[in-house]
Amino acid sequence: MKSYFVFLAIFLGVVIIVLGISFFTPLPVSFYQDFSVMFFTNLGLLKGIPIYDYSRQLPFVEKLTPPGFTFHPFPYPPWYALATIYLGLLPVRIAARFWFFCNLTMLGLSVWLLTPNWKTMHRILGITTAIMFLPSFGLLVVGQYSAPVLLGATLFIYSARKKSSVLSALSMLLMTFKPHIGILLLLSGLVWLFAERSSFSRRALGLTIFGGVFLAMISFLADPAWPVSYIQSLSRYGNIRGVQTCALCASLSVTAVQLVTGRASTSTAAWVSLALVFPLGIFVWLRLRHRLHDPFFLIALFAVLTLLLDPYLLNYDFTLMLIPLFWLFDYTLPFTLALYLVPGAAILYGRDSNIIFGFAALVTLILIFRYSRSYPHIWD
């Protein structure tokens, strides 16, 4: 119990330091990109506007933003808004900087959790490398929301090794913050805990259920009708032209649809992804099940499967690639380095480089299959 109080004290100290840096560092972070959805949703909530009440949010946001600004419906679970409600208490510029540093901290902590056996200097280099990974850099620049899922996935690996039921439950809850990229990771973690059949796994599952019920209950503070209005908000978000076509999507299925039909379509891509679920599932079970007991391998594999199957992926969601890259690092430095550098081509080719991300995920799956048969992981 004492260790948890120490952790809490350290956490609060870091928050205070980061908040101070956010106030006094003239970091040129844009607050009218992706971050604005979260900020104005939180600000509206503090003014009494439910997070999914789009009809009341629009006139509220219009009074606070320049002409031409587009505000989208909030497409995330209500507990994400509650977990970041403090952003609405800050001036928008300060809030954007603070969220930048929050994302930066989550990226760094994720790498720290993935590298428990590395020397301190090597871990620092690993964190720097992860931050400079193009999808991570994009996430930081636009103020995106994928970092909690990455942190949850890496925390699950760490907690499973340490047999910490509290941290395992926390990792599961973090994976729910951005459901469409966290769902496969969450399901794989739950199945792993069920298969573990130990006092640790039973406590972790119990705490996860308790935490899920707690999040569902407190979410009524964010929107009294959230179980219904959340679905409605997702529907409104899905009807946005840029989401329906998603020419910026970096998913393999959207790219395949665009190559065949000449136009991008997330709905058509969803059917393509669904058609791939069964053969990929059979492949994983027949050829890779002997390694699924290793939580690092399990999460690395399902991070790649997420990046192959999810039709609605943008380049910053490929931050999840860091997990399989750190797994591959123990086996093949040349291929790991090549896969790390491949997304950098997006700088040269812009939108036309989207196919590169899906291709990199496919190659990563092939390499995971290749090296899963070679020799046990260093943690085994």
281-336 pLDDT, tens digit each: 888 787 777 788 899 999 999 999 999 888 888 888 999 999 999 999 988 888 88
- Tokens at residue 362, please? 């496919």
pLDDT (tens digit per residue) in 329-361: 988 888 888 888 887 766 666 555 567 888 888
Residue 300 confidence (pLDDT): 95
By the 10 Å C-beta count (0-12 exposed, 13-18 middle, 19+ buried), 323 is classed as buried
Residue whose C-alpha is closest to residue 75's, from 52, 108, 58 = 52
Residue whose C-alpha is closest to residue 48's, from 57, 59, 39 = 57
Helix (H, G, I), strand (E, B) or coil at 145: coil
Select the more confidently predicted residue: 206 or 138: 206
370-379's contacts with Cβ under 8 Å and 24+ in sequence apart are: 371/328, 371/331, 371/332, 372/288, 372/290, 372/291, 372/297, 374/331, 377/291, 377/294, 377/296, 377/297, 377/327, 377/330, 378/117, 378/330, 379/117, 379/161, 379/294, 379/296
Read off the amino acid at residue 96: A
For residue 380, name the pLDDT band (cuts at 50, 70, 90). very low
By the 10 Å C-beta count (0-12 exposed, 13-18 middle, 19+ buried), 197 is classed as exposed
Helix (H, G, I), strand (E, B) or coil at 91: coil
Q: Model-level pTM? A: 0.90
CB 275 within 8 A of CB 268: no
